[in-house]
Amino acid sequence: MQAFCQVANRLAWKPLAFPIEGFAVIPADERIEEETLPNYATSQYYPVTIGEIFRARYQVVGKLGFGTTSTVWLARDLSERRHVALKLYIGSGSMVRSLDNEINAYKRIGNFSIKDPGRSAVRALLDSFHVDGPHGSHQCLVHPPLWDSRIACLV
């Protein structure tokens, strides 16, 4: 039985199917979440949908948060059988250099020994990629979610 469990845990997750009806419809003119921010522009944000799969690997299951420069989504890593946080940045040419610096910093920190003081206080960058949206390209950073484990989150 233990051998079966070990093999099963190595298999990729299958994508989930999400319902497409049975929800309250929010009127199109009602602003919610990041839409209420000053200087909000629809064209800057990538229009993520629940169930969407990025890079044939990350399936979005819910929204975690938002800010003036990004939205953050909980996703299932279908390849590694774990949950991750996807941070999708607004499409803005002025952010490119700042994001490149952030990614380089994460890569540099990732080269440090796990035993280095403070290393565990900085979240890891698991992956990064670009997503093409209707109004341009958006940088996506993949991080572990900010919980120790799914069990710790439920307790």
List pLDDT tens digits, range 59-101: 999 999 998 889 999 999 999 999 999 999 998 777 777 888 8
Tens digit of pLDDT for each residue in 21-35? Answer: 888 888 888 888 888
User: What's the mean per-residue pLDDT of the chain?
Assistant: 86
Number of structural domains, the chain? Answer: 1
**Residue 135 belongs to a domain:** yes
**Residue 8 belongs to a domain:** no
Which residues line the annotated binding site? Answer: 87
Which residues line the annotated binding site for ATP? Answer: 87
Q: What is the dihedral of CA 147, 150, 153, 155, to 10 degrees?
A: -140
Tens digit of pLDDT for each residue in 95-137? Answer: 777 888 888 888 888 888 778 887 777 888 999 999 999 988 9
**Residue 93 belongs to a domain:** yes
Q: State residue 101's pLDDT score.
A: 87
Domain limits at 122? Answer: 47-154
Rg from Cα positions in the chain: 18
